[in-house]
Chain A
Amino acid sequence: DAMVIQNPRYQVTQFGKPVTLSCSQTLNHNVMYWYQQKSSQAPKLLFHYYDKDFNNEADTPDNFQSRRPNTSFCFLDIRSPGLGDAAMYLCATSRDELAGVREQFFGPGTRLTVL
């Protein structure tokens, strides 16, 4: 089945220790997104890739970086995690179309704990 996969599902890191979260998709979608979601809050868009074009949200901290080496994979790097970065990180994909529903398909998420 075509899907969005995130690894790991649960990640524990120490304050200040770099961590990388990964996302892969078999949907062949050209747009990929990274969201941060804290409990009982709306998902917050960190950045997205339109093909290889990287789009950073204005309020995304420099501590967050991303890489998309090919269509299928996307990585989120947190260079120096702080306690406030503990959250669920959601990867999503969509197909850019001029018409039709641009539904976003979500992976299961990675829950990050910072000790």
Chain B
Amino acid sequence: GQNIDQPTEMTATEGAIVQINCTYQTSGFNGLFWYQQHAGEAPTFLSYNVLDGLEEKGRFSSFLSRSKGYSYLLLKELQMKDSASYLCAVMDSNYQLIWGAGTKLIIKP
């Protein structure tokens, strides 16, 4: 079966750095997405990785290791507005997104 695993909840301090991990087992791989979702709102696109390595975009970076079925999202200089759920999703061989349940990130002052 297809499976995406990520921690249910994490807590971090404003100004700090946090790493959210995601492991996956899917039938085929056409890229991995990270989305941010604030409570009661729709997911918004953060990043896409299809090759191994680190993609940096401002305060957010995303890493992929295809051989390990592993990705992480790194958030630097945390701000209160970063409190949200972070969803990992893998595009399978049929170009369908397989979603994780999301990691709820709580930022404390």
List A residues at the B interface (Cβ < 8 Å). 40-45, 48, 88, 90, 96, 101-109, 111
Contact = CB atoms under 8 A, between A and B. Distances in A.
A106 B95 CA distance: 17
Nearest to A107: B42
Interface residues of B, number: 23
B91 interface: yes
B99 A42 contact: yes
Given A40-B101, A40-B102, A111-B40, 7 more contacts: A41-B102, A42-B99, A43-B99, A102-B30, A103-B33, A105-B45, A109-B41
Interface of B: 4, 8, 30-31, 33, 40-45, 48, 85, 87, 91, 95-97, 99-102, 104
Contacts of A96: 95
B22 to A, nearest CB: 12
Nearest to A97: B95
Contact of A45 (B31, B41, B44, B97): B97
Contact of A42 (B41, B42, B45, B101): B101
Contacts of B104: 40
Q: 8 closest pairs, A vs B, by CB?
A: A42-B99, A106-B42, A42-B101, A101-B48, A109-B42, A103-B45, A43-B99, A108-B42
21 contacts: A40-B85, A41-B102, A42-B87, A42-B99, A42-B101, A44-B99, A48-B96, A96-B95, A101-B48, A102-B91, A102-B95, A103-B33, A104-B33, A104-B45, A105-B45, A106-B42, A106-B43, A106-B44, A108-B41, A108-B42, A109-B42
